[in-house]
Structure 1
């Protein structure tokens, strides 16, 4: 599958512009676009992504129905290939394929990286995504990490061609302390598939 070519930096949407005019924020918005919105990753953005251990992502199908999801891994599990391209591995999950399925219909994708522990700042990366096999991507990017999740084999990679990247300000980002040797499941906690269902343990709820 050929990788999708770079597309021009997007202009603000009509909705953005109309609401800015209505709320009287057009001048501030223009200043933000001019100073903060980048058509390529800066070196500082690339370094920031390389040390992140989690990312929030958004996709939508052709009907505009949205899905928000989360990915995590060791630092650098989202790989910066160059200043226009990122990739992260997809592993075997629950089989629903919500995010990947949306990408096959609608390539528009947003990533949000947030540093909760050190600099308390975030980075938005929006672009056009596609599914690429491990073999295909390694043929193009031979330096792709092979052991980003020890013991797990990537079923495919999400390859993102960047259209814009910009800061998410530090206001209201909470400080979180990484846990040392965290327990995956508290005693009495229901299994993931039962956590939000009627089968959830009432005894566990009473402990909360």
Structure 2
């Protein structure tokens, strides 16, 4: 069987948990497509629309660490069919994710599309590149965003997968709400004009 997201994460403990919850047979006999080891067109379009994601890294103390990364829509760039890159902006300067990567470069990414109730999960190896890297700067820097770029992060894909939409509460950004309201306002204007025309014809 091809190397996949579930293959990497299905450990002995996970298999035991699946058996305890009567789910082991479901995954042992799974025959659907799980070979997400290269980003396809569907994944590329999903990634290009994101303005944030969550990243989990492994600390030397044994505790996982979860952090949010954000930027302008499309700040996560597809460098090729196995690599993602971002400009890493200055934040609270704790550098926990950065420090964790010095000992263990494995990370897990979670990309959310709340309005459409869709999510992508990614296993990858993270590499750190200086802000002076001209090739990455040309690809990853959005001059209009105005944030301080401290470094570039590149994520080399191990495997990715999609989650089901259950229990995802739809949420909308200001931009998404503004776009929706704009459509509604246009339709209201059309209906008001139509109503006024009908009233005029009826002599009201």
Q: TM-score range by the shorter chain?
A: 0.7 to 0.9
Counterparts of residues 110-121 of structure 1 (less than 5 Å): 110-117=108-115, 119-121=116-118
CA change 1:161–1:51 in 2 (3 A) is: same
Q: Provide the TM-score with structure 2 as the length reference.
A: 0.74
**1:109 — aligned with what?**
107
Counterparts of residues 33-72 of structure 1 (less than 5 Å): 34-72=32-70
Candidates 146, 153, 160, aligned match of 1:151: 146
Q: Provide the TM-score with structure 1 as the length reference.
A: 0.73
**Residues 59-109 of structure 1 deviation map (CA, whole Å, 9 limit, x = unaligned):** 112342211111111111111111111111212222210111111111110
Q: Which of the pair has more CA radius of gyration?
A: 2
Structure 1 contact 90–154 (Cα < 8 Å) conserved: yes
Q: Which has the higher helix share?
A: 2
1:142 Cα offset (Å):
7.0
1:32 Cα offset (Å):
5.7
1:17 Cα offset (Å):
2.1
1:149 Cα offset (Å):
6.0
**1:193 — aligned with what?**
none
The 1-side partners of 2:63 and 2:143 are apart by 31
The 2-side partners of 1:33 and 1:143 are apart by 42
Structure 2 residue matching 1:15: 3-state secondary structure: helix
Structure 1 contact 36–167 (Cα < 8 Å) conserved: no
Q: Structure 2: state its 5+ residue gaps.
A: 178-204
CA change 1:22–1:47 in 2 (3 A) is: same
* Match status 1:95 vs 2:93: yes
CA change 1:148–1:27 in 2 (3 A) is: farther
* Match status 1:130 vs 2:127: yes
1:33 Cα offset (Å):
7.9
Candidates 17, 20, 41, aligned match of 1:19: 17
**1:169 — aligned with what?**
164
CA change 1:128–1:27 in 2 (3 A) is: same
Which moves more between the two structures, 127-136 or 22-31?
A: 22-31
Which moves more between the two structures, 99-108 or 25-34?
A: 25-34
CA change 1:131–1:33 in 2 (3 A) is: farther
Q: Structure 1: state its 5+ residue gaps.
A: 1-7, 183-208
Structure 1 contact 116–175 (Cα < 8 Å) conserved: yes
CA change 1:77–1:14 in 2 (3 A) is: same
- Number of residue pairs aligned between Structure 1 and Structure 2: 172
